[in-house]
Chain A
Amino acid sequence: MSQQPKRKKDGGSEEMTGREKKKVRMAEARTIPVQSVGAGSSSQAGPSKVVPMNSLAGLPSAIDIEKVVESRAFEIGAMQTAMKTASAGSTQRAWQALPRHLRRRAASHDVRRVPQRLRGRALAEMDALPVKKKKLPQRGKSKQETRTESFLRRQKDKTWLETHVWHSKRMIMEDMWGYRLAVKPTEKAYRPSHRASVQGAIIHDASYYSLVELRGAPETIIGTLNLCCDPQGPSPGALRFLNGTRTYETHAYEPGSYPLGLIAPLSIFWQPATTSTDTKGKGKETDASALDSQTNDRAIWLRYHPAVHQQMLSALQKAASTYLARKKEEGIESVEIQICDLKDQINVFEIMGPQASQVIRGVLNAVPGDPREEFKQFWSSLADVQTSGSVPRNLVVGFKVLDPRLRFPPKRAKPKPGKPITTHHIFPKETLARSDIWDEKVRLGLARPKFTKQELDDRRAKNVVPGTPLNPQRQDDRVPVLLIQRSLEASRTAGGHPIHGWTLIVPSGWGMAFWSSLVFTGTRIAGQRERQTQAYEAGTTYFPRDYPFTDAYNQFSKQREEKLKEKWDRKPPAKKPNFEKLKVDDPWTPNWNKVLGTEAEKDKAEEGDLVPAQREPESERSAVKPWLLRGLKMADIVEKVAASKSPEECLLSEVNKLRVARSLEQLPATRTQELLQGALINVKVNVCKRGLPQDLGLIYSLEDEEVPRAMASIMRKGDPEDEDEDEFNGISTENALIGRITTGNYSLSIGSGYAVGAVPLARWLALLKQQPEAEKNKASSTISPLVKIRNTNSDQCRLAKLEVLVEGDA
């Protein structure tokens, strides 16, 4: 392997310039090799046609044929190689022959960034190095800023994840919520990432999610959480969650203000009752667990979005103090609860896609001495599982694995076809869910891996047969991990296909060890954009984008507004949509007051109008607080409200029922009108035929006369050209606006435009009434009223069907 050419250019110009080298290279590429003539033998091997005057010559002998064929075959080969080299020689660099994910920016000037087999070629293609001016040595190595120091300096105002350096070389990064996170890959990967999430596997580093631990008596914890969790689902203390075998996906509200103070989605899981003793049956218990078993204290982990970190913590504290105050009134004194913020103690990886199970099976190797029968069964059937959706929802599995670097490079497990599917034997069991990762001492003890990569590589070099994986030694770390099943799905009616996968929780310090192995199996990497796309393609809502009126949504909306407005201001008037002409007053952030119909009078006043000098009583107008009606039972509630004669009272009674179930006091009856007026529901918007819905699009209701025409038009199966696109353009009344789209795009899994939007409950009820009689008799969850949608940048209206969006498996 030739060394790098010497940097000095002075001595003799034998070295050609880059241009000359390129010329020589191109000339060489374009010449067609000619078969050399053997000495002594005749050069002619026979012409193509037997000239007629040689017909007496007779048949050619075998030797002649061989010679002829040999020469012709050589020529064929020469032509083919000439064609190949001609196309490749002049226009391609050495590293352009590599697939996109192996190309490196520095390959153009640094030969080491090109794989070994191409290095010679790359070196030949490069220009001679420019002469670098030698810097005077700095004052002492100890005074130089080390690499670590420079990294730490950059982390003063934000936090880096453990896998940051890896991501920064391959993804576009952005500051979000106090972290530096990957938004999307640098190469174009929207469709491959979608394909990976529905056919392959795609991984996302979600270690930025906040984690809080509550410790205390189970009743205390349940009581506290009941005050701030969603009353529509089961209580966090339900038996199926209490033994720690399943995760509970719920939402958090400000304590006492259901249904108004929605904070964020929340993921809860309990620690199984006693700590695990699954390491070779030694039966050792740590001090903490001994204490627990004596005092009946349990631990519970809550995971939620980092945007609402402070808000959630204060809500939990408020709920805890409310609960403790209540207990004090009842006379019970010795009630305590601990709330610990476990930031930076674990790493979380979300692996989605049908092949996620095979990836996990290939990368993790469970410690052999696990005595649990259920775990053995689970682990052996994991390789053959078609998708993690076959496993019970939100299942928690805890076990110990060996250092993944011992068996580097890993391979994905191959599912064996024809094997009987044993996944229906996997039930959530408490023994299955136990893991040492709950134990803080264990976590801190593992904070630094015992062996560095260098030491492991040295060990590997000592192998007799190169390439054999390392055998685990006694000093090697055994890492406790948690595996949680994760599904993105919405209710089963039209729109989206569920995406299933696994969440892998490992202790901190082990992020890069696991990440390198996971990524080596060929799994795609998801940034924030891919994560949002997964939720969208599954048809479900994404926090905070589709949750109007939460604090996180307001923040997100404001940032988006600033960005869009700035972009719009920069453009010249001919190149941007004229929102005044299109009659859109709120093109960058939806004005929900207008949608809900609660716009205050003074907001509607135009400039130049006289504003009344006397202040009118404000209390009436501002009493309408907007809120998002959501939850597992939402479809039932909406149906009841639709069917009742007095919808406001029905809604109020439903809400009060839920509040009472969680020992909250009922809402006063004076608030009925505002409750219904301020309610918003998430809807799915399926575009009927053509059309692409975009974010912030407007949803209009059809006029009563238009409804039968619209229904006929979507049933028509004529030529697309015969259709009148502009048939439903034109908004007649002010009241036609019934909602806004929060996320809109072309859905790759559905094959047409799809959007998630929000519509006031009152307008939804009116829409149901607008349906023709035949439809009204169906259950309201199956009615899909027709509406018109239009994007903010055009006046083209498209027909679409609305449907109530219920999360989870309805």
Chain B
Amino acid sequence: MVRFKNRWLLVELIPLPQTHTTSPVTSSISRPRTPANNNNLDGKTIWAALRQSVLTHFGDVGWGAVAPSLTIKYFSPTTSVAIIRVSREHHKIAWAALTLLSSIDGVRYIPHVVHLSGTIKHAQLAAIEHNRVVIARFRALSKSAPGTRDSYDAFLEKSGLEIEALQD
């Protein structure tokens, strides 16, 4: 029985803000990190952009190798986190193409590969870890008074326990 082995890429697409229209100072006060039109980003557009990237950098051979197994399993517009599945033999082609992907639909992005794993479960676990780190970073940055706790303390504690239970 042949086992089809895959690799799962956890990617965050960090949008670069559009600084060509407004001055840095004014834009920073209002919405420092909100680029103009992101609402149309979804799994299909990412897939199309990735396909274009593979064709550009690796040609038809590369695309033929990667195409049967390339799938965007998950994408969240709010956090720009995507989980991409590729077959194991040719995952480096897809990974390289992803790294060289600089813009989707004209909007500039930096693809930040957080984790690479063999199962979706570990990709999901890595996503949880990543999100927790982000939350911690933001809270640290906010430098609010130590007493103020927002509504997510209980949730984070609960999710922390669940992760520990899930770890092998």
Residue of A nearest to B144 (CB): A62
Instruction: Assess whether B74 is in contact with A32, with CB atoms less than 8 Å apart.
Output: yes
B156 to chain A, nearest CB (A): 7
Instruction: Assess whether A80 is in contact with B152, with CB atoms less than 8 Å apart.
Output: no
Q: Which residues of A contact B131 (CB under 8 A)?
A: 72-73, 75-76
Instruction: Assess whether A51 is in contact with B16, with CB atoms less than 8 Å apart.
Output: yes
Instruction: Assess whether A79 is in contact with B128, with CB atoms less than 8 Å apart.
Output: yes
Instruction: Assess whether B138 is in contact with A65, with CB atoms less than 8 Å apart.
Output: yes
Q: Which residues of B contact A35 (CB under 8 A)?
A: 76, 78-79
Instruction: Assess whether A42 is in contact with B142, with CB atoms less than 8 Å apart.
Output: no
Q: Which A39-61 residues sit within 8 Å CB-CB of chain B?
A: 42-51, 53-54, 56-60
Given contacts A32-B74, A42-B31, A51-B110, whether A77 and B159 have CB atoms under 8 Å apart is yes
B140 to chain A, nearest CB (A): 11
Q: Is B34 an interface residue (CB 8 A)?
A: yes
Instruction: Assess whether B152 is in contact with A69, with CB atoms less than 8 Å apart.
Output: yes
Q: Is A71 an interface residue (CB 8 A)?
A: yes
Given contacts A58-B29, A60-B142, whether A71 and B150 have CB atoms under 8 Å apart is no
CA gap between A48 and B132 in the complex, in Å: 10
Q: Which residues of B contact A51 (CB under 8 A)?
A: 14, 16-17, 33, 110
Residue of B nearest to A70 (CB): B152
Given contacts A44-B38, A47-B33, A73-B152, whether A68 and B77 have CB atoms under 8 Å apart is no
Q: Is B97 an interface residue (CB 8 A)?
A: no
A142 to chain B, nearest CB (A): 61
CA gap between A47 and B166 in the complex, in Å: 27
Q: Is A82 an interface residue (CB 8 A)?
A: yes
Given contacts A34-B74, A47-B14, A73-B155, whether A68 and B138 have CB atoms under 8 Å apart is yes
Instruction: Assess whether A69 is in contact with B135, with CB atoms less than 8 Å apart.
Output: yes
CA gap between A56 and B16 in the complex, in Å: 15
Q: Is A704 an interface residue (CB 8 A)?
A: no
CA gap between A773 and B144 in the complex, in Å: 85
Residue of A nearest to B139 (CB): A65
B contact residues, total (Cβ < 8 Å): 56
Instruction: Assess whether A44 is in contact with B134, with CB atoms less than 8 Å apart.
Output: no
Contact with A along B124-145 (1 / 0, CB 8 A): 1101101111110111011110
Residue of A nearest to B122 (CB): A83
B30 to chain A, nearest CB (A): 10
Number of A-B contacts (CB under 8 A): 138
B11 to chain A, nearest CB (A): 11
CA gap between A43 and B124 in the complex, in Å: 22
Q: Is B59 an interface residue (CB 8 A)?
A: no
Q: Which residues of A contact B118 (CB under 8 A)?
A: none
Residue of A nearest to B163 (CB): A80
Residue of A nearest to B25 (CB): A56
Instruction: Assess whether A48 is in contact with B14, with CB atoms less than 8 Å apart.
Output: yes
Instruction: Assess whether B112 is in contact with A46, with CB atoms less than 8 Å apart.
Output: no
Most chain B C-beta atoms within 10 Å of own C-beta, residue among A42, A74, A75, A76: A76
Residue of A nearest to B127 (CB): A79
Given contacts A44-B78, A79-B127, whether A68 and B38 have CB atoms under 8 Å apart is no
Instruction: Kindly identify which residue among B41, B79, B141 contacts A59, using a CB–CB cutoff of 8 Å.
Output: B141
Instruction: Assess whether B76 is in contact with A44, with CB atoms less than 8 Å apart.
Output: no
Contact with B along A291-312 (1 / 0, CB 8 A): 0000000000000000000000
Q: Is A66 an interface residue (CB 8 A)?
A: yes
Instruction: Assess whether A72 is in contact with B33, with CB atoms less than 8 Å apart.
Output: no
Q: Is A332 an interface residue (CB 8 A)?
A: no
Q: Is A131 an interface residue (CB 8 A)?
A: no
Q: Which residues of B contact A70 (CB under 8 A)?
A: 152
Q: Is B64 an interface residue (CB 8 A)?
A: no
Q: Which residues of B contact A50 (CB under 8 A)?
A: 33, 141
Contact with A along B22-66 (1 / 0, CB 8 A): 001100110111110011010000000000000000000000000
B20 to chain A, nearest CB (A): 13
Q: Which residues of B contact A56 (CB under 8 A)?
A: 24-25, 28
Q: Which residues of B contact A48 (CB under 8 A)?
A: 12, 14, 112, 130, 133-134, 137
Q: Which residues of A contact B156 (CB under 8 A)?
A: 73
CA gap between A69 and B131 in the complex, in Å: 9
Instruction: Assess whether B112 is in contact with A49, with CB atoms less than 8 Å apart.
Output: yes
Contact with A along B74-117 (1 / 0, CB 8 A): 11111111010000000000000000000000000010100000
Instruction: Assess whether A46 is in contact with B29, with CB atoms less than 8 Å apart.
Output: no
Instruction: Kindly identify which residue among B12, B34, B79 contacts A71, using a CB–CB cutoff of 8 Å.
Output: B79
CA gap between A77 and B154 in the complex, in Å: 13
Q: Is B164 an interface residue (CB 8 A)?
A: no
Q: Is A1 an interface residue (CB 8 A)?
A: no
CA gap between A271 and B89 in the complex, in Å: 86
A318 to chain B, nearest CB (A): 70
Q: Is A238 an interface residue (CB 8 A)?
A: no
A46 to chain B, nearest CB (A): 6
A265 to chain B, nearest CB (A): 52
Residue of A nearest to B19 (CB): A53
Residue of B nearest to A47 (CB): B14
Instruction: Assess whether B128 is in contact with A68, with CB atoms less than 8 Å apart.
Output: no
B167 to chain A, nearest CB (A): 12
Question: Which A residues lie at the B interface, using CB under 8 A?
Answer: 32, 34-35, 37, 42-51, 53-54, 56-60, 62, 65-66, 68-77, 79-80, 82-83, 86
Listed from nearest, the 7 A-B pairs whose CB atoms lie closest are A57-B32, A57-B28, A71-B78, A72-B131, A79-B124, A47-B14, A43-B77
Other A-B pairs beyond A83-B121, A83-B166, 17, CB < 8 Å: A34-B77, A43-B39, A44-B33, A44-B35, A47-B80, A48-B14, A54-B32, A56-B28, A57-B28, A58-B29, A62-B144, A73-B131, A75-B81, A76-B131, A79-B124, A79-B128, A86-B120
